[in-house]
Structure 1
Amino acid sequence: MSYPAAQLANSLPLLLICDNIRDPGNLGTILRSAAGAGCEKVLLTKGCVDPWEPKVLRAGMGAHFRVPIIANLDWESVPTNLPAGIQVCVADNNDPDAPAGSTSVPRGAGRAGSAPASPKAPVKSSPRAAPEHEDEEAAAMPELAAQHYYEDWARAPVAVVVGGETHGLSPAALGLAASTGGKRLLIPVVPGVDSLNSAIAAGIVLFEGRRQLLWRHKQEDGRQKLPVPG
Protein backbone atom coordinates (compact mmCIF):
# COMPACT_ATOMS: atom_id res chain seq x y z
CA MET A 1 0.00 0.00 0.00
CA SER A 2 1.25 3.50 -0.82
CA TYR A 3 0.84 6.38 1.62
CA PRO A 4 0.47 10.16 1.13
CA ALA A 5 3.76 11.93 0.45
CA ALA A 6 3.03 14.52 3.14
CA GLN A 7 2.52 11.76 5.70
CA LEU A 8 5.79 10.07 4.79
CA ALA A 9 7.69 13.38 4.80
CA ASN A 10 6.49 14.13 8.33
CA SER A 11 6.95 10.64 9.71
CA LEU A 12 9.07 10.31 12.85
CA PRO A 13 11.10 7.40 14.29
CA LEU A 14 8.20 6.80 16.67
CA LEU A 15 6.39 3.45 16.65
CA LEU A 16 3.31 2.20 18.46
CA ILE A 17 2.73 -1.35 19.68
CA CYS A 18 -0.84 -2.26 20.64
CA ASP A 19 -1.12 -5.05 23.21
CA ASN A 20 -4.57 -6.64 23.56
CA ILE A 21 -6.57 -3.63 22.35
CA ARG A 22 -9.92 -5.37 21.87
CA ASP A 23 -12.39 -2.51 21.66
CA PRO A 24 -12.96 -1.45 18.01
CA GLY A 25 -13.62 2.19 18.88
CA ASN A 26 -10.48 2.42 20.98
CA LEU A 27 -8.28 0.86 18.31
CA GLY A 28 -9.66 3.13 15.59
CA THR A 29 -9.06 6.20 17.74
CA ILE A 30 -5.55 5.00 18.59
CA LEU A 31 -4.73 4.54 14.90
CA ARG A 32 -6.02 8.04 14.19
CA SER A 33 -3.75 9.45 16.91
CA ALA A 34 -0.80 7.44 15.59
CA ALA A 35 -1.29 8.89 12.12
CA GLY A 36 -1.65 12.40 13.53
CA ALA A 37 1.51 12.07 15.62
CA GLY A 38 3.49 10.93 12.58
CA CYS A 39 4.19 7.38 13.74
CA GLU A 40 6.43 5.39 11.44
CA LYS A 41 4.27 2.28 11.85
CA VAL A 42 1.82 0.55 14.18
CA LEU A 43 2.22 -3.05 15.31
CA LEU A 44 -0.77 -5.04 16.59
CA THR A 45 -0.14 -8.19 18.58
CA LYS A 46 -2.42 -11.21 18.59
CA GLY A 47 -5.38 -10.48 20.82
CA CYS A 48 -6.07 -7.08 19.27
CA VAL A 49 -9.28 -6.56 17.35
CA ASP A 50 -9.03 -6.84 13.55
CA PRO A 51 -7.97 -3.35 12.34
CA TRP A 52 -10.13 -3.75 9.22
CA GLU A 53 -13.28 -4.44 11.22
CA PRO A 54 -15.94 -1.86 10.18
CA LYS A 55 -16.14 -0.16 13.59
CA VAL A 56 -12.36 0.25 13.66
CA LEU A 57 -12.41 1.74 10.17
CA ARG A 58 -15.10 4.24 11.15
CA ALA A 59 -13.25 5.34 14.27
CA GLY A 60 -9.96 5.53 12.36
CA MET A 61 -11.29 8.21 10.01
CA GLY A 62 -8.85 7.28 7.24
CA ALA A 63 -5.84 6.56 9.46
CA HIS A 64 -5.54 3.07 7.95
CA PHE A 65 -4.41 4.68 4.69
CA ARG A 66 -1.92 7.06 6.30
CA VAL A 67 0.20 4.86 8.56
CA PRO A 68 1.52 1.31 7.99
CA ILE A 69 -0.26 -1.25 10.18
CA ILE A 70 1.18 -4.71 10.80
CA ALA A 71 -1.39 -6.90 12.54
CA ASN A 72 -1.70 -10.30 14.21
CA LEU A 73 1.91 -10.49 15.39
CA ASP A 74 3.25 -13.01 17.88
CA TRP A 75 5.43 -11.35 20.49
CA GLU A 76 8.35 -13.42 19.22
CA SER A 77 8.08 -11.68 15.84
CA VAL A 78 7.64 -8.14 17.17
CA PRO A 79 11.41 -7.41 17.46
CA THR A 80 11.94 -8.31 13.79
CA ASN A 81 9.52 -5.51 12.88
CA LEU A 82 11.41 -2.91 14.94
CA PRO A 83 14.48 -0.88 13.93
CA ALA A 84 17.85 -1.81 15.37
CA GLY A 85 18.74 -0.05 18.59
CA ILE A 86 15.16 0.90 19.44
CA GLN A 87 14.03 1.59 22.99
CA VAL A 88 10.57 0.30 23.88
CA CYS A 89 8.62 2.13 26.60
CA VAL A 90 5.27 1.20 28.12
CA ALA A 91 2.32 3.32 29.19
CA ASP A 92 1.50 1.78 32.55
CA ASN A 93 -0.67 2.43 35.58
CA ASN A 94 0.89 3.32 38.88
CA ASP A 95 0.51 5.67 41.82
CA PRO A 96 1.38 9.09 40.33
CA ASP A 97 2.67 10.27 43.72
CA ALA A 98 5.17 7.43 44.00
CA PRO A 99 8.75 8.58 43.38
CA ALA A 100 9.95 7.89 39.87
CA GLY A 101 12.66 5.27 39.83
CA SER A 102 13.36 1.60 39.34
CA THR A 103 10.33 -0.37 40.50
CA SER A 104 8.95 -3.81 39.92
CA VAL A 105 6.03 -4.06 37.52
CA PRO A 106 3.16 -5.88 39.23
CA ARG A 107 1.34 -8.68 37.48
CA GLY A 108 -1.56 -7.40 35.43
CA ALA A 109 -0.53 -3.76 35.67
CA GLY A 110 -0.95 -1.59 32.68
CA ARG A 111 -4.37 -0.28 31.87
CA ALA A 112 -2.75 1.99 29.36
CA GLY A 113 -1.54 5.19 30.91
CA SER A 114 -3.89 4.88 33.83
CA ALA A 115 -3.07 5.47 37.46
CA PRO A 116 -4.97 4.69 40.62
CA ALA A 117 -6.16 7.76 42.46
CA SER A 118 -4.15 6.96 45.59
CA PRO A 119 -2.03 4.19 47.08
CA LYS A 120 -5.23 2.77 48.58
CA ALA A 121 -7.08 2.63 45.27
CA PRO A 122 -7.39 -0.89 43.86
CA VAL A 123 -5.57 -1.77 40.67
CA LYS A 124 -7.45 -4.13 38.38
CA SER A 125 -5.30 -7.08 37.48
CA SER A 126 -5.26 -10.40 35.73
CA PRO A 127 -6.49 -13.42 37.72
CA ARG A 128 -4.07 -14.12 40.55
CA ALA A 129 -1.78 -17.07 40.36
CA ALA A 130 -1.89 -19.85 42.92
CA PRO A 131 -0.01 -18.83 46.11
CA GLU A 132 2.78 -21.33 45.52
CA HIS A 133 3.56 -19.69 42.15
CA GLU A 134 3.29 -16.03 43.18
CA ASP A 135 6.87 -15.74 44.42
CA GLU A 136 8.21 -17.30 41.22
CA GLU A 137 6.19 -14.95 39.02
CA ALA A 138 7.17 -11.88 41.04
CA ALA A 139 10.83 -12.81 40.72
CA ALA A 140 10.46 -13.35 36.97
CA MET A 141 8.85 -9.95 36.36
CA PRO A 142 11.31 -7.46 34.85
CA GLU A 143 12.10 -4.17 36.50
CA LEU A 144 11.57 -0.93 34.58
CA ALA A 145 12.54 2.59 35.51
CA ALA A 146 9.38 4.66 36.00
CA GLN A 147 8.95 8.33 35.17
CA HIS A 148 6.21 10.76 34.21
CA TYR A 149 5.42 10.89 30.50
CA TYR A 150 6.39 14.56 30.21
CA GLU A 151 9.97 13.91 31.32
CA ASP A 152 12.69 13.16 28.80
CA TRP A 153 12.34 9.69 27.23
CA ALA A 154 11.91 9.94 23.45
CA ARG A 155 15.23 9.27 21.78
CA ALA A 156 15.10 8.02 18.21
CA PRO A 157 14.12 5.39 17.47
CA VAL A 158 11.52 4.73 20.15
CA ALA A 159 8.36 2.64 20.48
CA VAL A 160 5.48 2.88 22.92
CA VAL A 161 3.37 -0.08 24.05
CA VAL A 162 -0.24 0.59 24.99
CA GLY A 163 -2.22 -2.18 26.68
CA GLY A 164 -5.94 -2.84 26.64
CA GLU A 165 -8.11 -1.68 29.51
CA THR A 166 -9.31 -5.18 30.43
CA HIS A 167 -6.08 -7.17 30.52
CA GLY A 168 -3.44 -4.46 30.67
CA LEU A 169 0.11 -5.02 29.54
CA SER A 170 1.22 -8.58 28.93
CA PRO A 171 4.37 -10.03 30.52
CA ALA A 172 5.80 -10.24 26.98
CA ALA A 173 5.38 -6.48 26.54
CA LEU A 174 7.12 -5.78 29.83
CA GLY A 175 9.90 -8.19 28.93
CA LEU A 176 10.48 -6.51 25.57
CA ALA A 177 10.65 -3.09 27.22
CA ALA A 178 13.12 -4.34 29.82
CA SER A 179 15.33 -5.94 27.17
CA THR A 180 15.68 -2.59 25.36
CA GLY A 181 16.25 -0.46 28.45
CA GLY A 182 12.75 0.98 28.18
CA LYS A 183 10.77 2.85 30.81
CA ARG A 184 7.31 2.97 32.33
CA LEU A 185 5.63 6.23 31.35
CA LEU A 186 3.20 7.41 34.01
CA ILE A 187 0.29 9.77 33.31
CA PRO A 188 -0.76 11.42 36.58
CA VAL A 189 -4.47 12.00 37.13
CA VAL A 190 -6.28 13.90 39.86
CA PRO A 191 -7.41 11.97 42.94
CA GLY A 192 -10.72 10.19 42.49
CA VAL A 193 -10.20 9.38 38.80
CA ASP A 194 -9.62 5.66 38.48
CA SER A 195 -7.97 5.49 35.07
CA LEU A 196 -7.67 6.85 31.57
CA ASN A 197 -9.18 5.28 28.49
CA SER A 198 -6.45 3.46 26.53
CA ALA A 199 -7.06 5.58 23.42
CA ILE A 200 -6.72 8.81 25.42
CA ALA A 201 -3.54 7.55 27.09
CA ALA A 202 -2.07 6.59 23.72
CA GLY A 203 -2.76 10.05 22.32
CA ILE A 204 -1.15 11.78 25.30
CA VAL A 205 2.02 9.70 25.18
CA LEU A 206 2.38 9.69 21.37
CA PHE A 207 2.06 13.45 21.00
CA GLU A 208 4.49 14.00 23.87
CA GLY A 209 6.89 11.66 22.09
CA ARG A 210 6.41 13.69 18.91
CA ARG A 211 7.10 16.93 20.77
CA GLN A 212 10.30 15.57 22.29
CA LEU A 213 11.60 14.14 19.02
CA LEU A 214 10.93 17.37 17.13
CA TRP A 215 12.56 19.43 19.87
CA ARG A 216 15.63 17.20 19.84
CA HIS A 217 15.82 17.40 16.04
CA LYS A 218 15.64 21.19 16.22
CA GLN A 219 18.43 21.27 18.81
CA GLU A 220 20.63 19.07 16.63
CA ASP A 221 19.99 21.27 13.58
CA GLY A 222 20.94 24.33 15.61
CA ARG A 223 24.25 22.79 16.65
CA GLN A 224 25.08 21.85 13.07
CA LYS A 225 24.56 25.44 11.93
CA LEU A 226 26.91 26.93 14.53
CA PRO A 227 30.02 28.50 12.93
CA VAL A 228 33.24 26.57 13.37
CA PRO A 229 35.87 28.68 15.22
CA GLY A 230 38.77 29.61 12.94
Structure 2
Amino acid sequence: MDLIQSRQNPLVKTCIKLAGQRRERLKSGLTLLDGPHLLMAALDASLPPERVLVAQSALDRPEIQALLARTTAPKALLDDELFASLSELESISGILALWRYPEAPAARSRGLVLALDGVQDPGNVGSILRTAAAAGVEQVWLNPACADAWSPKVLRAGMGAHFLLPILERVELPALLAQFSGKVAVTALANSISLYQADLRGDLALVMGSEGSGVSTEVMQQAGLRLTIPMRPGLESLNVGAATAICLYERLRQAGG
Protein backbone atom coordinates (compact mmCIF):
# COMPACT_ATOMS: atom_id res chain seq x y z
CA MET A 1 0.00 0.00 0.00
CA ASP A 2 1.29 3.45 -0.89
CA LEU A 3 1.27 6.00 1.93
CA ILE A 4 -1.27 8.82 1.54
CA GLN A 5 -0.21 12.10 3.16
CA SER A 6 -2.27 14.79 1.42
CA ARG A 7 -5.74 16.07 2.30
CA GLN A 8 -6.18 16.70 -1.43
CA ASN A 9 -6.16 13.00 -2.17
CA PRO A 10 -9.59 12.13 -3.70
CA LEU A 11 -10.19 9.28 -1.24
CA VAL A 12 -9.40 11.52 1.74
CA LYS A 13 -11.65 14.28 0.40
CA THR A 14 -14.49 11.79 0.07
CA CYS A 15 -14.00 10.61 3.65
CA ILE A 16 -13.99 14.17 4.97
CA LYS A 17 -17.35 14.80 3.30
CA LEU A 18 -18.83 11.53 4.56
CA ALA A 19 -17.69 12.26 8.11
CA GLY A 20 -19.29 15.68 8.28
CA GLN A 21 -22.11 15.96 5.74
CA ARG A 22 -25.43 14.15 5.86
CA ARG A 23 -26.12 15.33 2.32
CA GLU A 24 -23.03 13.50 1.07
CA ARG A 25 -24.05 10.32 2.88
CA LEU A 26 -27.52 10.48 1.37
CA LYS A 27 -26.19 11.14 -2.13
CA SER A 28 -23.61 8.37 -2.09
CA GLY A 29 -25.28 5.81 0.17
CA LEU A 30 -21.94 5.51 1.99
CA THR A 31 -20.79 6.23 5.52
CA LEU A 32 -17.69 5.70 7.66
CA LEU A 33 -17.17 2.90 10.16
CA ASP A 34 -14.61 4.20 12.66
CA GLY A 35 -12.63 1.63 14.59
CA PRO A 36 -12.09 -2.12 14.70
CA HIS A 37 -15.25 -2.92 16.66
CA LEU A 38 -17.63 -1.51 14.04
CA LEU A 39 -15.78 -3.08 11.14
CA MET A 40 -15.72 -6.45 12.91
CA ALA A 41 -19.47 -6.20 13.61
CA ALA A 42 -20.16 -5.42 9.94
CA LEU A 43 -18.05 -8.35 8.79
CA ASP A 44 -19.71 -10.66 11.32
CA ALA A 45 -23.08 -9.62 9.83
CA SER A 46 -21.79 -10.38 6.29
CA LEU A 47 -21.93 -6.67 5.39
CA PRO A 48 -18.45 -6.03 3.98
CA PRO A 49 -16.94 -2.56 3.46
CA GLU A 50 -16.18 -1.01 0.09
CA ARG A 51 -12.81 0.44 1.11
CA VAL A 52 -10.56 0.24 4.16
CA LEU A 53 -8.16 2.92 5.43
CA VAL A 54 -5.43 2.11 7.93
CA ALA A 55 -3.30 4.46 10.04
CA GLN A 56 0.42 3.98 9.44
CA SER A 57 1.17 3.36 13.12
CA ALA A 58 -1.60 0.74 13.38
CA LEU A 59 -0.64 -1.41 10.42
CA ASP A 60 1.28 -3.94 12.51
CA ARG A 61 -1.33 -4.36 15.25
CA PRO A 62 -2.56 -7.97 15.34
CA GLU A 63 -6.19 -6.80 15.63
CA ILE A 64 -5.85 -4.65 12.50
CA GLN A 65 -4.04 -7.37 10.58
CA ALA A 66 -6.80 -9.85 11.43
CA LEU A 67 -9.47 -7.48 10.11
CA LEU A 68 -7.55 -6.77 6.91
CA ALA A 69 -7.30 -10.49 6.31
CA ARG A 70 -11.10 -10.84 6.55
CA THR A 71 -11.96 -8.49 3.69
CA THR A 72 -11.05 -8.26 0.02
CA ALA A 73 -11.96 -4.56 -0.12
CA PRO A 74 -9.25 -2.22 -1.50
CA LYS A 75 -6.98 -0.88 1.23
CA ALA A 76 -5.18 2.44 1.71
CA LEU A 77 -2.46 3.47 4.18
CA LEU A 78 -2.72 6.94 5.72
CA ASP A 79 -0.26 9.13 7.57
CA ASP A 80 -1.26 9.21 11.26
CA GLU A 81 -1.99 12.93 11.33
CA LEU A 82 -4.15 12.66 8.23
CA PHE A 83 -5.97 9.63 9.62
CA ALA A 84 -6.68 11.49 12.89
CA SER A 85 -8.30 14.34 10.93
CA LEU A 86 -10.95 11.91 9.65
CA SER A 87 -11.94 10.64 13.09
CA GLU A 88 -13.61 12.32 16.07
CA LEU A 89 -12.09 9.84 18.51
CA GLU A 90 -9.50 11.19 20.95
CA SER A 91 -7.05 8.38 20.21
CA ILE A 92 -6.37 6.85 16.81
CA SER A 93 -8.62 3.83 16.25
CA GLY A 94 -6.26 2.58 13.56
CA ILE A 95 -8.83 1.64 10.95
CA LEU A 96 -11.68 3.26 9.02
CA ALA A 97 -13.98 1.73 6.44
CA LEU A 98 -16.19 3.14 3.72
CA TRP A 99 -19.39 1.15 4.02
CA ARG A 100 -22.58 1.17 1.95
CA TYR A 101 -25.56 1.15 4.27
CA PRO A 102 -28.62 -0.91 3.26
CA GLU A 103 -31.68 0.45 1.51
CA ALA A 104 -34.68 0.93 3.78
CA PRO A 105 -37.17 -1.95 3.72
CA ALA A 106 -40.94 -1.59 3.43
CA ALA A 107 -42.59 -0.39 6.61
CA ARG A 108 -44.08 -3.11 8.80
CA SER A 109 -47.76 -3.08 9.71
CA ARG A 110 -47.38 -5.73 12.42
CA GLY A 111 -44.79 -6.89 14.96
CA LEU A 112 -42.72 -4.77 17.32
CA VAL A 113 -41.77 -1.38 15.91
CA LEU A 114 -39.95 1.46 17.65
CA ALA A 115 -40.59 4.96 16.29
CA LEU A 116 -38.48 8.00 17.17
CA ASP A 117 -40.21 11.36 16.89
CA GLY A 118 -37.54 14.08 16.77
CA VAL A 119 -34.78 12.47 18.88
CA GLN A 120 -31.92 14.76 17.88
CA ASP A 121 -28.91 13.79 19.97
CA PRO A 122 -26.68 11.32 18.08
CA GLY A 123 -25.63 9.60 21.30
CA ASN A 124 -29.26 9.07 22.29
CA VAL A 125 -30.22 7.70 18.87
CA GLY A 126 -27.26 5.30 18.86
CA SER A 127 -27.87 4.00 22.36
CA ILE A 128 -31.60 3.59 21.61
CA LEU A 129 -30.78 1.53 18.52
CA ARG A 130 -28.49 -0.65 20.61
CA THR A 131 -31.24 -1.22 23.18
CA ALA A 132 -33.78 -1.89 20.42
CA ALA A 133 -31.59 -4.59 18.89
CA ALA A 134 -31.10 -6.23 22.29
CA ALA A 135 -34.83 -6.13 23.12
CA GLY A 136 -35.95 -7.75 19.87
CA VAL A 137 -37.38 -4.74 18.04
CA GLU A 138 -38.18 -5.76 14.45
CA GLN A 139 -37.99 -2.34 12.80
CA VAL A 140 -37.10 1.24 13.75
CA TRP A 141 -38.66 4.35 12.21
CA LEU A 142 -37.05 7.80 12.46
CA ASN A 143 -38.81 10.97 11.33
CA PRO A 144 -36.93 13.78 9.52
CA ALA A 145 -36.22 15.67 12.77
CA CYS A 146 -34.11 12.82 14.18
CA ALA A 147 -30.33 12.63 14.06
CA ASP A 148 -28.91 10.87 11.00
CA ALA A 149 -28.91 7.16 11.84
CA TRP A 150 -25.94 6.52 9.53
CA SER A 151 -23.67 9.28 10.82
CA PRO A 152 -20.35 8.14 12.33
CA LYS A 153 -21.45 9.42 15.76
CA VAL A 154 -24.66 7.41 15.79
CA LEU A 155 -22.89 4.35 14.41
CA ARG A 156 -20.32 4.49 17.21
CA ALA A 157 -23.00 4.87 19.87
CA GLY A 158 -24.96 1.97 18.33
CA MET A 159 -21.95 -0.35 18.74
CA GLY A 160 -23.03 -2.64 15.90
CA ALA A 161 -26.83 -2.49 16.37
CA HIS A 162 -27.23 -0.99 12.89
CA PHE A 163 -26.17 -4.29 11.34
CA LEU A 164 -28.98 -6.16 13.12
CA LEU A 165 -31.90 -3.73 12.78
CA PRO A 166 -34.02 -2.73 9.76
CA ILE A 167 -34.02 1.09 9.89
CA LEU A 168 -36.30 3.51 8.04
CA GLU A 169 -35.23 7.17 8.07
CA ARG A 170 -36.98 10.44 7.21
CA VAL A 171 -40.44 8.85 7.36
CA GLU A 172 -43.77 10.53 8.05
CA LEU A 173 -44.73 8.88 11.31
CA PRO A 174 -48.46 9.78 11.32
CA ALA A 175 -48.93 8.04 7.96
CA LEU A 176 -47.03 4.90 8.98
CA LEU A 177 -48.75 4.70 12.35
CA ALA A 178 -52.16 5.03 10.67
CA GLN A 179 -51.48 1.86 8.66
CA PHE A 180 -50.11 -0.09 11.64
CA SER A 181 -52.56 -2.83 12.58
CA GLY A 182 -51.53 -3.22 16.22
CA LYS A 183 -51.45 -0.94 19.25
CA VAL A 184 -49.75 2.45 19.06
CA ALA A 185 -48.24 3.57 22.37
CA VAL A 186 -46.61 6.91 23.18
CA THR A 187 -44.93 8.24 26.29
CA ALA A 188 -46.79 11.22 27.72
CA LEU A 189 -47.23 12.93 31.07
CA ALA A 190 -50.90 13.95 30.74
CA ASN A 191 -53.92 11.62 30.51
CA SER A 192 -51.67 8.57 30.68
CA ILE A 193 -51.51 5.29 32.58
CA SER A 194 -48.55 3.70 34.26
CA LEU A 195 -46.35 1.65 31.97
CA TYR A 196 -46.83 -1.26 34.39
CA GLN A 197 -50.63 -1.16 34.08
CA ALA A 198 -50.63 -1.27 30.27
CA ASP A 199 -50.90 -4.40 28.13
CA LEU A 200 -47.93 -4.22 25.76
CA ARG A 201 -48.27 -7.73 24.33
CA GLY A 202 -48.99 -8.41 20.67
CA ASP A 203 -48.32 -6.11 17.74
CA LEU A 204 -47.01 -2.82 19.09
CA ALA A 205 -45.59 0.44 17.75
CA LEU A 206 -43.86 2.30 20.58
CA VAL A 207 -43.20 5.99 19.94
CA MET A 208 -40.56 7.92 21.86
CA GLY A 209 -40.52 11.70 21.59
CA SER A 210 -37.82 14.34 21.38
CA GLU A 211 -35.57 15.30 24.27
CA GLY A 212 -37.22 18.69 24.66
CA SER A 213 -40.88 18.59 23.61
CA GLY A 214 -41.74 14.92 23.59
CA VAL A 215 -44.11 13.36 21.08
CA SER A 216 -45.64 15.71 18.50
CA THR A 217 -49.36 16.47 18.47
CA GLU A 218 -49.89 14.74 15.12
CA VAL A 219 -48.32 11.53 16.38
CA MET A 220 -50.09 11.76 19.75
CA GLN A 221 -53.43 11.67 17.91
CA GLN A 222 -52.55 8.23 16.50
CA ALA A 223 -51.96 6.71 19.93
CA GLY A 224 -54.34 4.33 21.62
CA LEU A 225 -52.06 4.02 24.63
CA ARG A 226 -50.49 6.92 26.52
CA LEU A 227 -47.83 5.69 28.93
CA THR A 228 -45.98 7.22 31.82
CA ILE A 229 -43.04 5.78 33.73
CA PRO A 230 -43.56 6.08 37.50
CA MET A 231 -40.99 8.36 39.16
CA ARG A 232 -40.48 9.85 42.58
CA PRO A 233 -41.93 13.37 43.07
CA GLY A 234 -39.72 16.28 42.03
CA LEU A 235 -38.15 14.57 39.02
CA GLU A 236 -39.55 15.84 35.73
CA SER A 237 -38.42 13.20 33.24
CA LEU A 238 -35.89 10.55 32.26
CA ASN A 239 -33.36 10.63 29.47
CA VAL A 240 -35.06 9.34 26.31
CA GLY A 241 -32.55 6.51 26.03
CA ALA A 242 -33.27 5.32 29.56
CA ALA A 243 -37.03 5.70 29.07
CA THR A 244 -36.89 3.65 25.86
CA ALA A 245 -34.99 0.86 27.60
CA ILE A 246 -37.51 0.72 30.46
CA CYS A 247 -40.47 0.57 28.06
CA LEU A 248 -38.95 -2.04 25.74
CA TYR A 249 -37.93 -4.31 28.56
CA GLU A 250 -41.35 -4.08 30.20
CA ARG A 251 -42.76 -5.20 26.85
CA LEU A 252 -40.21 -8.03 26.77
CA ARG A 253 -41.15 -9.07 30.33
CA GLN A 254 -44.86 -9.13 29.46
CA ALA A 255 -44.15 -11.16 26.33
CA GLY A 256 -42.43 -13.81 28.43
CA GLY A 257 -38.84 -12.73 27.94
Matched, 1:167 2:213: yes
* Segments ≥4 residues shifted beyond 3 Å: none
Which residues in structure 2 correspond to 1:95-106 (within 5 Å)? Answer: 103=191
Q: Secondary structure at the match of 1:73?
A: coil
CA distance in 2, matches of 1:68, 1:54: 18
Query: Once the 2 structures are TM-superposed, how far is the Cα of residue 173 of structure 1 from its aligned partner?
Result: 1.1
Q: Which has the higher contact order (CA 8 A, sep 6+)?
A: 1
Which residue does the alignment assign to 1:207? Answer: 249
Question: Given that residues 147 and 186 in structure 1 are in contact (C-alpha distance below 8 angstroms), is that contact kept between their aligned partners in structure 2?
Answer: yes
Identity of aligned residues (%): 41
Which residue, 16, 35, 40 being the options, matches 2:133?
Answer: 35
5 Å matches for 1:1-230?
13-79=111-177, 83=180, 85-94=181-190, 103=191, 146-177=192-223, 182-214=224-256
Contact 1:152 1:212 in 2 (8 A): no
Larger Rg: 2
Deviation at 1:155, TM superposition (A): 2.7
- Quick check: 2:186–2:227 contact (8 Å CA) kept in 1? yes
Would the aligned equivalents of 1:91 and 1:185 in 2 still touch at CA under 8 Å? yes
Over residues 179-202 of structure 1, what are the superposed CA-to-partner deviations in whole Å (9 max), with x where a residue is unaligned? xxx211110111222210011000
Q: Which stretches in structure 1 are left out of the alignment for 5+ residues?
A: 5-11, 95-102, 104-145, 216-230
TM-score normalised over the length of structure 2: 0.55
Deviation at 1:153, TM superposition (A): 1.6
Give the residue type in structure 2 aligned to 1:189: M
Tell me the TM-score normalised to structure 1 length.
0.61
Relative distance call for 1:193 and 1:79 in structure 2 (3 A) is: closer
* Shift, 1:79, TM fit: 3.5
> How far apart are 1:212 and its partner, in Å?
1.0
